[in-house]
Amino acid sequence: MAYKWLPRWFFQLASPRWCYQITGQLIPWFAAISGLLVVSGIIWGLAFAPPDYQQGNSFRIIYLHVPSAILAQSFYMLMALAGAIGLIWKMKVADMVAKSVAPIGAALAVLALLTGAIWGKPTWGSWWVWDARLTSMLVLLFLYLGVIALNSAIESETTAAQSTAVLALVGLVNIPIIKYSVEWWNTLHQPATFKLTEKPAMPPEMWVPLLVMVIGLYMMFGLALMLRLRNEILLRERRASWVKELLAVKA
Amino acid sequence: MSAALLSARSLYCERDDRILFEGLDLNLSSGEILQIEGRNGSGKTTLLRILSGLSNHFEGELFWRGETMGEAKESFLAELVYIGHQPGVSDLLTAEENLKWHCALHPSLDASLIEYAINQVGLTGFEDVPAFQLSAGQKRRIALARLYMSNAQLWILDEPFTAIDKLGVAAKEDLMLKHLSKGGSVILTTHQDLSAHMPLRKLILGQSKEAQYIEQ
Amino acid sequence: MNNKDLSASGLFVATFRRDLVLAFRRKSELVNPLIFFLMVITLFPIGVSPEPDFLAELAPGLLWVAALLATLLSMESLFKADFEDGSLEQLLLSPQPLFMVVLAKVSAHWLMSGLALTLVAPVLAVMLFLPFEGMPGLMLSLLLGTPTLSLIGAIGAALTVGLRRGGVLISLLVLPLYIPVLIFGSSAVQAAITGLPLGGYFALLGALLALALALAPLATGAALRISVSG
């Protein structure tokens, strides 16, 4: 089913071999740039950005918490999108991308939750609080875990890819509904406005390092995704001649 | 010139790291019986499921009456009776109830022929018995009864004669010949030997990667 | 109505009746969700505290959670039997819209699970000392919410029907999706107790149900085709 309005490179993407080669070229760049951004972002955020007038120095964890939360959510969308492409156009590479994203997204969600907890302890005294953002992130983690569990429970790769794609899409539709209902639930039970992420206009000294971290983490986890994807490609295409040649050379 | 019904081009299917078939072409015209043969595990059931549309784990194209399967899916399903490994018979329902539900599922099945069909498969007197009280052969006969109620062009049958005795097989052979004379076609697999007078084409899977056709 | 509409609604009725007949012939399984509902409720006074004030505060959410879990538990049976005897294959080979068949099966299933739970809920509410004012809110919210639970649960059942032990996996897949219904359902009961207007809650629950009615059977149908093609 080829649609004329789709650019040619879209269908070139469908070749696992081409994907493998392209990612091979991109990886060194991603590694270098992401390393630079993340390291500088962390140093900037931890050492040089001004302390928050309300929370002092403990808020600095947002330089890790906010980017990981953003990434966890956008990687889910990537997973659902890749799954949809694999489902509609029967592209194996899209299936492989979706499968590779899932554990990374789950790890990001865990990171967001952990950094949220680290933020919480000095700020409100306990390691956990049932606020809207953290609860939503927890539910996002459950959605990821569901996809991972379903994928590992089904033996046939094709069936697993298609089933998890459907599940990811169902989850995608539900995410805004869940977020809205959790926020609404939160206002019921916490009249005190304790918005963790609602910040009045942030001065540039604060949000520029944040932006650096966001971009840096995107590249770093994009790198992780490419590494996982390459492994997945080699595994699934192991009977293809180009893989055999490649592995023979390496051996 | 008999009309082409079902065709397949360059079918490729792999399972468990084995290639079951590749480059498989298939053409079925009206008034034909095609028997798929091969050893256990050679992909007979898989092929039938691909042809009937149950499985999409394949590459290649399918055509029904000249149109791609994507366009013709609905009219294809309306003209297909598929009887698979499991008879599709619900254990807690009686034969009659089972067939009534099948009629609701498939417009090609005529509900007024239920009694006739039950009679033809030798289950008269057992219409009101819940299927779990019947033997495996009797359950399969409930499934086969649908063939007597249907005006569908294409029958795809996977081991239809399991647990059916010789008389039953002979009766079904007659039924198939009748079906052919009305322009219908059959694709089937079976371990039983069909009678010599049956006009068969055979497709043998698994010997080389490509399949072979034999006229009988 | 042309022929197609007639046969589509005929298929709905035929499938609906078939599933009800099958459910009644498996009488022993009919009561399982209800017994589970009762048992889960019983765990809390025993495990935590039988104080009326404490239980009354817990009641709205607890009744909802227990109903939710009982529904989840019964979801596996939606497609399993049909998968095992080959009826599911036949169902998928029907030229009629799969949407209708799925909707019929889920409706019949809901009658035996969600609706039954709704009718039994007042009895359990009394055991948890739910104030009388909360009863209408409880029953209406369950009535509006449990169909959504069945519809969403069907997606999980369809995704796992081909697996040998899909039961627990269904819960894992479906529970996050149940959270909005749980939030609005239990809040409706809370609001009923405190005398607040319930219209908004029922509108929200109704909206969720409408969305589920429109989309869930599509996802379920797709999942069924995928599971059977394996």
Q: What is the pLDDT of residues A213-237, one digit of tens each?
A: 999 999 999 999 999 999 999 998 8
Identify which of B53, B206, B153, A5 has the alpha carbon closest to the alpha carbon of residue C225: B53
Quick check: is A180 in a domain? yes
Quick check: is A147 in a domain? yes
B48, B156 contact by CB (below 8 A): yes
Are the Cβ atoms of C7 and B104 closer than 8 angstroms? yes
Greatest Cα-to-Cα distance within chain B, rounded to the nearest angstrom: 49
Give the nearest chain B residue to A239 (CA atoms): B17
> Tell me, what DSSP letter sits at residue A60?
G
- Measure the CA–CA gap between B99 and B111, rounded to whole angstroms: 8
CB atoms within 10 A of CB A33: 15
- Chain C residues touching B74 at Cβ < 8 A: 95
- Chain B residues touching A158 at Cβ < 8 A: 57
The confidence score (pLDDT) of residue A56 equals 65
Identify which of C132, C122, C130, C123 has the alpha carbon closest to the alpha carbon of residue C53: C130
- The whole-angstrom distance between B1's CA and the closest CA on chain A is 32
- Measure the CA–CA gap between A180 and A183, rounded to whole angstroms: 5
- Chain C residues touching B75 at Cβ < 8 A: 95
The confidence score (pLDDT) of residue A190 equals 63
The confidence score (pLDDT) of residue C135 equals 93
**What is the extent of the structural domain holding A221?**
26-46+57-190+211-237
C228, C166 contact by CB (below 8 A): no
Judge whether A239 is closer than 8 Å to chain B, CB to CB: yes
The confidence score (pLDDT) of residue A187 equals 84
Judge whether C171 is closer than 8 Å to chain B, CB to CB: no
- Chain A residues touching C179 at Cβ < 8 A: 139, 178, 181-182
Q: CB-based contacts of C51: which residues, under 8 Å, 6+ apart?
A: none
Which among A8-22, B37-51, C92-106 has the top mean pLDDT?
C92-106
Quick check: is A17 in a domain? no
How many interface pairs between B and C have CB atoms less than 8 angstroms apart?
83
Are the Cβ atoms of C169 and A153 closer than 8 angstroms? yes
Give the pLDDT mean for B55-72: 90
- Measure the CA–CA gap between A221 and A78, rounded to whole angstroms: 13
Give the residue with greater pLDDT, B150 vs A251.
Answer: B150
Q: pLDDT at residue C7 above 80?
A: no
Q: Would you state the structure tokens that stand for residue B124, as one six-digit string?
A: 């008269």
B198, B173 contact by CB (below 8 A): yes
Quick check: is A199 in a domain? no
Mind listing the domains of chain B with CATH numbers? 1-79+153-216 (3.40.50.300), 86-150 (no CATH)
Quick check: is A10 in a domain? no
Domain count within chain A: 1
Give the pLDDT mean for B152-158: 94
Residues of B with CB under 8 A from a CB of A: 17, 57, 70
The confidence score (pLDDT) of residue A186 equals 87
Chain B neighbours (≥3 Cβ pairs under 8 A) are A, C
Q: What is the pLDDT of residues A97-153, one digit of tens each?
A: 999 999 999 999 999 999 988 888 877 788 888 888 899 999 999 999 999 999 999
Q: Which residue do the tokens 């994928």 mark?
A: A151
Q: Give long-range contacts, CB 8 A cutoff, 24+ apart: A115-123.
A: A115/A61, A115/A64, A115/A65, A115/A68, A116/A65, A116/A69, A116/A196, A118/A61, A118/A65, A119/A58, A119/A59, A119/A61, A119/A62, A119/A65, A119/A196, A122/A55, A122/A58, A123/A55, A123/A58, A123/A59
Best A88, A89, A95, A158 residue to mutate vs chain B (most B CBs within 10 Å) = A158
- Measure the CA–CA gap between A189 and A134, rounded to whole angstroms: 15
Which residue in the set A143, A150, A177 is minimally distant from C180, CB to CB? A177
Quick check: is A195 in a domain? no
3-state secondary structure of C45: helix
- Chain C residues touching A170 at Cβ < 8 A: 155, 177, 219
